[in-house]
Structure 1
Amino acid sequence: MDHAAIDAAGTEHGRAGSSARIVSLVPSITELLFALSLDAHIVGRTGFCIHPRERVRHVRKVGGTKAVKIDAVRALRPTHVIVNIDENEAHTVDELRRFVPHVIVTHPLAPRDNLALYRLLGAIFDREREAETLCTALQARLDAVAARAWPERHVVYAIWREPWMTVARDTYIAAMLRLVNWQTLPVTYGGSAGAARYPGFDFDAPWLADVDRVLLSSEPYRFTETHADALRRDPRLAGKRVALIDGEFVSWYGSRAIAGIGYLMDFASA
């Protein structure tokens, strides 16, 4: 068995064959499957799987990433369901394992992990050539961003408000930001494992004194210029740059990471 066909849960997967029926419960991976020319095999997706827009609209919806309609998945008779450790609930994955022959678990934590992700799916679904094309494109972007000297910036990347929430340094988002030497704050977190990865914060926190930029993501909470303007007027953030940032380009792994790195380079240079 090729090592490229071992998923994030350590499960080995053989070749799927020409009769594969795939349900993707991860928006960024749904987009990746289309990039691998697997259109004919994709039979189900979540309502959050919105790219590529014109092609994905023909695929049946099976609920959300954390509200999967198990009966809808079962009705599609999938041979493979693709899930993600962060995005899908463990109990949902356990239910799926009862009737889905192959559950593929993914868990990229850094942009470079996409190379293994491309090759994993390429090996399983007989798309090695397409996977290597994506690998070449991603590696070129990784080399380009590494070739430049980026001044260090301390940032807080907001993903939610009421309550305000940010990302820990062990998340994919933080790893993307580090490509341009943007270091997320705070450095350490308390609380449960989930809360520690996506912790709450408030603008009275002492560590905010070290923040250079406040980044307001377009997802999962859709921050707008109204929110940004309000924070720019907040005296606690005086002297700090507040900006909206495209969450899809920063948080989506898969094929979007290639364009995402280019976007981040332009964003950091502005």
Structure 2
Amino acid sequence: MRQFIDQIGTSHTFENTPKRIVSLVPSQTELLYDLGLEDDIVGVTKFCIHPYHLKATKTVVGGTKKIKFDKIKALQPDIIICNKEENTKEIVEELSQICPVWVTDILTIEDNSKMIQDFGLLFNKRTDAQKWIDKTNFALQDFKQFIKDRPIKKAAYFIWANPYMVAGNSTFINELLQLNHFSNIYENKESRYPEVELRKIRLEGDPDYVFLSSEPFPFKDEHAFEIGRVTHHAKTVFVDGEMFSWYGSRLVKALAYFKKLHEKIQD
């Protein structure tokens, strides 16, 4: 018997290494694949688009918030992988009736490394996990060297329109903004993803940059124009939301993306 504790403090005991995995978080599905666990994945969400072929070869069990319980049960999984932010407590509790539900909680880069390490132990992929941790650490040190002399600029990171919503504090997005020397003008809001009024944006922080994420909302030029009318001097930039919000092995690609982003927007 082996005992493990997930990132929300739940203890799990397994007689054998879990072999049938249902993943309900797109970025974690990508990580499982990169750890060499493709054959063990039996169920994914409709949003698990990396690598793209998985949706054609695995059972799609719904989204991250709306799942098909019976479909998951029929797969007879050994473990279900969830995330505290992506999947509700009610979903986790319901799924726990089927099999152990491993819940991650990723707010920092350190949390991200812990998740990779945990998966390495949990699925007997220690060597692969360490390779990804080493890759991430190397890319991180390289990026910190790249960014160290760049001035800190104020930014707002929009994730939704109608109503407008932004990334606030205690989010992985905020962690990556800070890494990029962007001071989030909304990090002092009580909500992690607060609704905001455009007309107040200059009073609330007057950002140098406004980032419009590619997900979960598909921002268009019309939104950039609307925001631009009230921010005046701020540069409005469309950014790849996967690079700012996906954790796991994706962080290695994100750090390379951030370099290109800075080269694109530098004054």
Same fold, judged at TM 0.5 (above): yes
* Aligned positions, number: 261
Matched residue, 2:131: 133
- State whether structure 2 residue 262 is matched by structure 1 residue 263: no
Question: Between the two proteins, what is the percent identity of the paired residues?
Answer: 34
User: Is the CA contact (8 Å cut-off) linking 1:214 and 1:240 kept in structure 2?
Assistant: yes
- What letter matches 1:212 in structure 2? D
In the alignment, the residues of structure 2 paired with residue 162 and residue 184 of structure 1 have an alpha-carbon distance, to the nearest angstrom, of: 21
Question: What aligned pairs does 1:30-179 form with structure 2 within 5 A after superposition?
Answer: 30-100=29-99, 102-147=100-145, 148-149=147-148, 150-179=150-179
1:52 is paired with a residue whose SS is: coil
* Structure 1 residue 269, shift from structure 2 partner: 2.8
User: Is the CA contact (8 Å cut-off) linking 1:155 and 1:212 kept in structure 2?
Assistant: yes
User: Is the CA contact (8 Å cut-off) linking 1:117 and 1:254 kept in structure 2?
Assistant: yes
* Structure 1 residue 139, shift from structure 2 partner: 0.1
* Structure 1 residue 228, shift from structure 2 partner: 2.2
User: Is the CA contact (8 Å cut-off) linking 1:14 and 1:124 kept in structure 2?
Assistant: no
* Structure 1 residue 240, shift from structure 2 partner: 0.9
Calculate the aligned-residue CA RMSD, in Å: 1.9
Q: Name the TM-score, length of structure 2 as normaliser.
A: 0.92
Matched residue, 1:180: 180
Taking structure 1 as reference, are residues 204 and 36 closer, same or farther at Cα in structure 2, changes over 3 Å only? same
Deviation per residue, 1:70-112 (Å, 9 max, x gap): 1111111111000000000111110111121x21110111123
In the alignment, the residues of structure 1 paired with residue 15 and residue 224 of structure 2 have an alpha-carbon distance, to the nearest angstrom, of: 47
Matched residue, 1:23: 22
| Higher fraction of strand | 2
In the alignment, the residues of structure 2 paired with residue 94 and residue 188 of structure 1 have an alpha-carbon distance, to the nearest angstrom, of: 31
In the alignment, the residues of structure 1 paired with residue 263 and residue 116 of structure 2 have an alpha-carbon distance, to the nearest angstrom, of: 29
In the alignment, the residues of structure 1 paired with residue 177 and residue 45 of structure 2 have an alpha-carbon distance, to the nearest angstrom, of: 27
Gaps of 5+ in 2: none
User: Is the CA contact (8 Å cut-off) linking 2:18 and 2:122 kept in structure 1?
Assistant: no
Q: Name the TM-score, length of structure 1 as normaliser.
A: 0.91
Gaps of 5+ in 1: 191-195
* Structure 1 residue 11, shift from structure 2 partner: 2.7
In the alignment, the residues of structure 2 paired with residue 227 and residue 75 of structure 1 have an alpha-carbon distance, to the nearest angstrom, of: 43
In the alignment, the residues of structure 2 paired with residue 57 and residue 28 of structure 1 have an alpha-carbon distance, to the nearest angstrom, of: 17
1:231 is paired with a residue whose SS is: helix
- State whether structure 2 residue 210 is matched by structure 1 residue 214: yes
In the alignment, the residues of structure 2 paired with residue 259 and residue 112 of structure 1 have an alpha-carbon distance, to the nearest angstrom, of: 17
Deviation per residue, 1:49-86 (Å, 9 max, x gap): 11111244311111110001111111111110000000
- What letter matches 1:203 in structure 2? L
Taking structure 1 as reference, are residues 16 and 36 closer, same or farther at Cα in structure 2, changes over 3 Å only? farther
User: Is the CA contact (8 Å cut-off) linking 1:16 and 1:124 kept in structure 2?
Assistant: no
